[in-house]
Amino acid sequence: MFGDRHLIVVDLGFGDAGKGATVDWLCSPRAGLDVSAVVRFNGGAQAAHNVVADGRHHTFRQFGSGTLSGVPTLLSRHMLVEPLALAAEARELAAMGVAHPLSLLYADERALLTTPIHGAANRRREDTRGTARHGSCGIGIGETASYALDHDAPRVADCARPDVLRRKLIALEEHYAPLLAGGRHRYDPIDDLVAAYTAFAGAVAILPGEQLAGFARSGRLVFEGAQGVLLDEWRGTHPYTTWSTVEPRNARDMLARIGAPGYVLGVTRAYLTRHGAGPFPTEDPALSIPEPHNGTGVYQGAFRRGHLDPLLLRYAIDACGGIDGLAVNHLDAVGDIRTATGYLTADGCVDRLDCGVWQDLEHQRGLTDLLSAATPALADLPGDVPGYLEAELGAPVVLTAHGPDRADRTVRITAQA
């Protein structure tokens, strides 16, 4: 099905489409793919990839979703690493029976550190926006990325250099002091952070660069994305986006540097969801689909549900530069779902969204305006949802899921595959 290509798993929606469950299956003995590592290629500790397998449930945040199958995780230089959250996640995995979770973790020394200072600043900034919040998780992802644009930011390598780390943390604290003054958000003292990060450096393999070729020689790589393409920093519904390149550009570049082929597997639900503010044309509050692992977030707001939207999925595929195959999840929940055939707008009916050019935020703001005012034209969803999506999106559906468990996934071979 995939040949000898490494796999790049990317969410075609607003997130929460089932990337973690898909990666878990790809890494499991059921798939038989001989995976040597899961490579996290964007995002940070705000990820929430739910995996249910063999009676166990875990929400993966920084560890790769192949961990329950004993597959190591490589945190690439494109990840924003939060050591305190990683330590907490390691304890959760150990309690589930994963032996020595931190021994399965490798981190590129160039990756940026997300600290409690970033998190406090993030929450304070969202507080000041009031009802105009962007829908942040409140962990500090945007602050981590934006601070690093103009400052000598803390990185994973600094965890093994306490004096350098302390200097950088002091500078970070001074930078955010005016924003945090008088606010309610607190963080650990710098000396405590230095001690915790030094312990992190002693427990995790910190690599001088990504060392991708070595992992690739041992087996197949699975690149696990975070968030969804419709939240991409340059391709999403600006300003309701993440400070991260979600589309597979970085994963493709990493593979190109080692001369290895990649297969982009786009993931979608059989309907759409959004967790956070921003436009959502097919949203339908009347849909009462159970969501045991996603609820209302303090900064994100409510978890939203909507009908299938091939227009947005085609847009996401264009933003990815094309995909090779599709994984369709939540097929067990299509009872009341319909599908969009177009949008009714002030300028007439729209049945295709222009992807524009990369790094054009004015175009993205225009997309946000269009989607915010659009009324979807809905039709009944055909009974063969995978076949319908193949025809609408021009890519083969190679994997389907009719439930949350690893055992609920089925390989679907088509003529196109």
Cα separation, 373 vs 101, whole angstroms: 47
With b meaning 16 or more CB within 10 Å and e meaning fewer, what string describes 384-393? ebbebbbebb
pLDDT at 416: 45
Is 16 one of the annotated active-site residues of the chain?
A: yes
Report which of 162, 186, 184, 160 is spatially closest to residue 173, judged by C-alpha positions.
186
Per DSSP bridges, beta strands 49-53 and 56-60 are antiparallel
The Cα 117–Cα 176 span in angstroms is 8
Catalytic-role residue among 6, 11, 16, 275 = 16
Q: Which two tokens stand for residue 339?
A: 């599908």
User: Is 49 among the catalytic positions?
Assistant: yes
Report pLDDT digits (tens) over 171-222.
999 999 999 987 777 788 999 999 999 999 999 999 998 899 999 999 999 9
| Three-class SS state of 366 | helix
Mean pLDDT score, 330-338: 95
Encode pLDDT of 91-147 as tens digits.
999 999 999 999 999 999 999 999 999 999 988 888 776 665 555 667 889 999 999
78 in Cβ contact with 250 (< 8 Å): yes
Long-range contacts from 95-98, C-beta under 8 angstroms, 24+ separation: 96/56, 96/58, 96/68, 97/56, 98/67, 98/68, 98/70
Give me 242's structure tokens.
């993440």
Classified as helix, coil or strand, 184 is: coil
Q: Which of 6, 24, 49, 330 is catalytic?
A: 49
DSSP code of residue 382: P
Tokens representing 244 are: 């991260």
- What mean pLDDT, rounded, does the chain reach? 93
Of the pLDDT bands very low, low, confident and very high (cuts 50, 70, 90), residue 291 is confident
Q: What is the pLDDT of residue 132?
A: 58
- Residue 230 has a CB neighbour count (10 Å cut-off) of 29
What is the phi/psi pair of residue 171, to 5°?
-65, -40
